[in-house]
Chain A
Amino acid sequence: MATMQMRTTARAMMAPAVILLLVWMAVPLAATLYYSFQNYTLLNPVISFAGLDNYYYFITDPAFASAVLNTIYLVGGVLLITVIGGLFLALLIDQPIFGQGIVRILVISPFFVMPTVAALVWKNMLMNPIYGIFAWLFSLVGLPPVDFLAQIPLLSIILIVAWQWLPFATLILLTALQSLDGEQMEAAEMDGAGVVSRFIYLVLPHLSRAITVVILIETIFLLGVFAEILVTTNGGPGTASTNLPFLVYTQALLNFDVGSASAGGIIAVVVANIVAFFLMRIIGKNLEA
């Protein structure tokens, strides 16, 4: 049978991708899980079984509680800025404005700037308390300069990361907005619906799925923010701007504590999976449609 043969061919064609991804996912994760139960530091070659000690030490480390909080603030803060700002920007760009194409290009550009460049440009040329643009703007209105990354490190990083992700939210919401039925809007307008009620009853429901997608995808990426912290504050001062990934990095590559870092990695997986669960359901639904 030709179809039977096709089925076999199809499987063979899928095999490399599936097998590679399976290995890619299972092997390192199993290794992390294994290390997380071992006493293993790179400074001491003797490995011994540790039970749940690594988890215990990682979780009871005061840095862990603050890293979890920082992660929540970072993800939440960036989401708040980008979703609300993105919604506003998308609505604005969707208006009949002059030079719409150029405005669009200007707005989405920050998304294409590599994280290390974005973070360094903000750190030096904008946020530097002596020579930076912000210091200059503050001096214009008679305010003392702020040493952003020393005084409000986490907020500064939220600002930098939000700048990078605002274009993403804007672009996705704008795309969704442009598929809104114009005639429906017109009908609502003729029936006397004002701008606000049209927004609440027509635009927002239409955008709800796009907004959900933006929130979930951004969350996945924002849970892993790393480069921006590394080149600006290095997690400091103290642990004031250390998030979960950065804490794991510190444990692994700076303290050489493989066991503890692995326990942290497994905790990160659990957190990410909770988010992923919801994202997958939404995308899965779409696949059926």
Chain B
Amino acid sequence: MARSVSTSRRVTFTVIAWVIALILFFPILWTIITSFKSEGDAIAFPPVFLNFHWTLDSYREVQERSDYLLHVWNSAAISFGSTLIALLISIPAAWAMAFNPGKRTKDILMWMLSTKMMPAVAVLVPFYLAYKNLGLLDTKLGLIIILTMMNLPIIVWMLYSYFKEIPGEILEAARMDGATLGKEIVYVLAPMAVPGIASTVLLNIILSWNEAFWTLNLSASQAAPLSTFIASYSSPEGLFWAKLSAASTLAIAPILVMGWFSQKQLVRGLTFGAVK
């Protein structure tokens, strides 16, 4: 807006906004600060804010629990694996829907979306029983299968909305010049769609990384990603807040940074294009 704003008004709004923003961010900030404390300082009362002995002990101890890296690896394998597999299945589908829409394309898109609305808890029992019988409980493969299917509708939708913005004439021109379908997708479509594909991947990695229904119910130790691993700190066997904080900071840091970079795409992806 091209209206001039008085400085005092601007300063007032700035102060209010910053205070609220810092309050909302405080739990995260507090987790990060606590991760550098000793266990004693972590439960000091009244709380100590900055004037304590900063230490990396908690990080060291968390790392030394040899299984920590296993959970990081599980989280990465599950979120990247499920996103990439879903992407491979989705790209052809989104291509077909965006550039060769049929009469029923819209219905198919809506139906795909509707599968996202099914409450996970409704199919918990059959999945649990089937996984138990197939030996898929607490395996990365089992979780990747489920998260792939959970990601699929969102990925198809996001790719579809990005592909729609690419003029179909360019693809047609490539076809006229004799490009095969595979070449058309790999050499013509994909390079133009890279930004869209990248943000789709980013959002879905974030969603899979933070998924906490299936991971909690279907993994225990071997395949447990970070969300399950950190839930194990809920047992009241003692107050290990510094270690909890260190493990938490490591678990959320990469996703937090990814999230900051994907703000815009996030809106589009999470509202299925209803808000851009």
A residues in contact (CB < 8 Å) with B: 6-7, 9-11, 13-14, 16-18, 20-21, 24-25, 27-29, 31-32, 35, 89, 92-93, 95-99, 102-126, 130-131, 133, 135-136, 139, 163, 166-168, 171-172, 175-176, 179, 182, 185-186, 189, 209-210, 213, 217, 220, 223-224, 226-227, 230-232, 244-245, 248-249, 252-253, 258, 261-262, 264-266, 268-269, 271-273, 275-276, 279-280, 282-284, 286-288
Q: Is the CB of A105 within 8 A of B271?
A: no
Q: Is the CB of A133 within 8 A of B30?
A: yes
From B24, B45, B149, B228, give the contact of A20 (CB < 8 A): B149
With both chains docked as a complex, state the minimum distance between the C-beta of B49 and any C-beta of chain A, in angstroms: 10
Contact (A109, B256) CB under 8 Å given A14-B93, A117-B251: yes
Q: Is the CB of A93 within 8 A of B123?
A: no
B273 at the interface (CB under 8 A from A): yes
Residues of A within 8 A of B99 (CB): 10
Q: Is the CB of A279 within 8 A of B117?
A: yes
Q: How far is the CA of A116 from the CA of B94 in the complex (A)?
A: 33
CB-contacts of B24-48 with A (<8 A): 24-25, 27-28, 30-31, 34, 43-47
Q: Is the CB of A213 within 8 A of B27?
A: no
Q: How far is the CA of A213 from the CA of B255 in the complex (A)?
A: 25
14 contacts between A and B (CB under 8 A): A17-B90, A24-B115, A98-B14, A111-B259, A116-B230, A116-B234, A117-B230, A121-B244, A126-B27, A139-B46, A245-B213, A265-B119, A272-B122, A283-B274
B195 at the interface (CB under 8 A from A): no
Contact (A28, B24) CB under 8 Å given A13-B96, A125-B30, A286-B274: no
Q: Is the CB of B96 within 8 A of A14?
A: yes
From B46, B109, B233, give the contact of A136 (CB < 8 A): B46
Q: Is the CB of A213 within 8 A of B17?
A: no
- The A interface is mostly helix, strand or loop, or mixed, namely helix
Q: Add 16 more A-B contacts to A172-B270, A220-B117 (CB < 8 A).
A: A10-B100, A17-B93, A18-B112, A27-B126, A28-B123, A92-B20, A106-B21, A114-B212, A114-B227, A115-B212, A116-B227, A121-B31, A133-B30, A226-B212, A253-B128, A273-B117
B252 at the interface (CB under 8 A from A): yes
With both chains docked as a complex, state the minimum distance between the C-beta of A12 and any C-beta of chain B, in angstroms: 8
With both chains docked as a complex, state the minimum distance between the C-beta of A129 and any C-beta of chain B, in angstroms: 11
Q: How far is the CA of A154 from the CA of B52 in the complex (A)?
A: 35
- The B interface is mostly helix, strand or loop, or mixed, namely helix
Q: How far is the CA of A220 from the CA of B114 in the complex (A)?
A: 11
From B27, B43, B276, give the contact of A118 (CB < 8 A): B27
Residues of B within 8 A of A106 (CB): 21-22, 24-25
From A89, A271, A283, give the contact of B110 (CB < 8 A): A283
CB-contacts of B115-132 with A (<8 A): 115-130
With both chains docked as a complex, state the minimum distance between the C-beta of A57 and any C-beta of chain B, in angstroms: 16
Q: Is the CB of B123 within 8 A of A175?
A: no
Contact (A29, B122) CB under 8 Å given A96-B10, A163-B27, A186-B3: yes
Q: How far is the CA of A18 from the CA of B80 in the complex (A)?
A: 22
Q: Is the CB of B47 within 8 A of A136?
A: yes
From B116, B125, B260, B271, give the contact of A35 (CB < 8 A): B125
Residues of A within 8 A of B21 (CB): 102-103, 106-107
Q: How far is the CA of A92 from the CA of B16 in the complex (A)?
A: 8
Q: How far is the CA of A266 from the CA of B125 in the complex (A)?
A: 11
From B11, B125, B259, give the contact of A32 (CB < 8 A): B125
Q: Is the CB of A227 within 8 A of B122?
A: no
The 3 A-B residue pairs with the shortest CB-CB distance in the complex, in nearest-first order = A31-B126, A276-B117, A227-B212
Q: Which residue of B lies closest to A26 (CB)?
A: B115
Q: Which residue of A lies closest to B209 (CB)?
A: A114
Residues of A within 8 A of B227 (CB): 114-117, 227
Q: Which residue of A lies closest to B1 (CB)?
A: A182
Residues of A within 8 A of B259 (CB): 108-109, 111-112
B108 at the interface (CB under 8 A from A): yes
With both chains docked as a complex, state the minimum distance between the C-beta of B176 and any C-beta of chain A, in angstroms: 10
Contact (A283, B272) CB under 8 Å given A120-B231, A120-B234, A227-B213: yes
B54 at the interface (CB under 8 A from A): no
Q: How far is the CA of A189 from the CA of B34 in the complex (A)?
A: 49
B198 at the interface (CB under 8 A from A): no
With both chains docked as a complex, state the minimum distance between the C-beta of B122 and any C-beta of chain A, in angstroms: 4
Q: How far is the CA of A280 from the CA of B271 in the complex (A)?
A: 11
From A97, A110, A135, A262, give the contact of B13 (CB < 8 A): A97
